[in-house]
Amino acid sequence: MNGEYETVKDTRRKGLVALENAYRVVLERVGEDPTRQGVVKTPYRAAKAMLYLTKGYQQSLEDIINDAVFEEDHDEIVVVKDIEVFSMCEHHLVPFMGKVAIGYLPDKKVLGLSKLARIVDMFGRRFQVQERLTRQIASAVEEAIGATGVGVVIEAQHMCMVMRGVQQTMSSTSTTCMLGAFKDDPKKRDEFLALVGISK
C-alpha cells in the first residue's frame, strides 16, 4: 500500500514538473521574461492551479457518491438549484462559470444533497463544452440512484465570448438535459422547470 501511494505521489510530482516547464515555455513565447521577479514562480503556481482546475479527471462517480444513497419512500421531484459550476472551455482553455439546477424523481432512493454539488464539481473540473457537461451531470444522477426522471439546467457565462472574439460581456448560454419522465412527460417537465424558475 505504501509503495502504491509513493507511485501515485511520484506520478503527480512528475506531472507538476512537466506542466511547470510547459508554462515557462508559454511565458517565453508570449514575450515575457520567465526570470523576472514578478513571474519567476508563475510556472509553478500555474501548474498547481491547472492540476486543481482539472482534478475531475482523477475522480469517479463511485468515489463522489461514497455510500450516500438512502432508501426513502419518496416519489416526488427533488430539486437543488443555484449550484455553482466552474469549468474550462476545451476549445480555448479559458473559464466558463455559472449556475446549475438539478431535479430528479426518486425510485425509492434519494441521494445526499451535497453529492449533487460534488457531481457538478467533478465534471466541471475537466475540459468541457457546456452541452456535454449538462448531459454528464444528468446521466450521473440517473446512474447513481436509478431515478425515473432527471432534469439539469445550466446557465453560464463563457470567457471565450467575453474576453476574446466577439467580446459579448453580457451574453450567457443556457443548456438543458431531460431524461426519463422529464423527457417523456410534459407535465413533469413543466413542473421541474417551474421549480427552477423557468416558465413556459
The answer to whether residue 177 is catalytic is: no
The answer to whether residue 128 is catalytic is: no
Backbone torsions φ then ψ of 110, nearest 5 degrees: -120, 160
User: What is the bridge-based pairing of β-strands 149-158 and 173-180?
Assistant: antiparallel
> Active-site residue among 6, 58, 72, 91?
91
**Residue 151 grid coordinates:** 432534469
Residue 38 CA: distances (Å) to CA of 8, 43, 157? 32, 11, 30
> Active-site residue among 59, 74, 92, 191?
92
> Active-site residue among 90, 131, 143, 168?
90
**Residue 52 grid coordinates:** 486543481
Place of cell 439539469: 152
The answer to whether residue 74 is catalytic is: no
Q: Are 51 and 123 in contact (CB under 8 A)?
A: no
The answer to whether residue 130 is catalytic is: yes
Residue 76 CA: distances (Å) to CA of 52, 73, 101, 143, 180? 36, 10, 16, 18, 14
Q: Are 53 and 45 in contact (CB under 8 A)?
A: no
Residues annotated as part of the active site? 89-92, 130, 158, 160
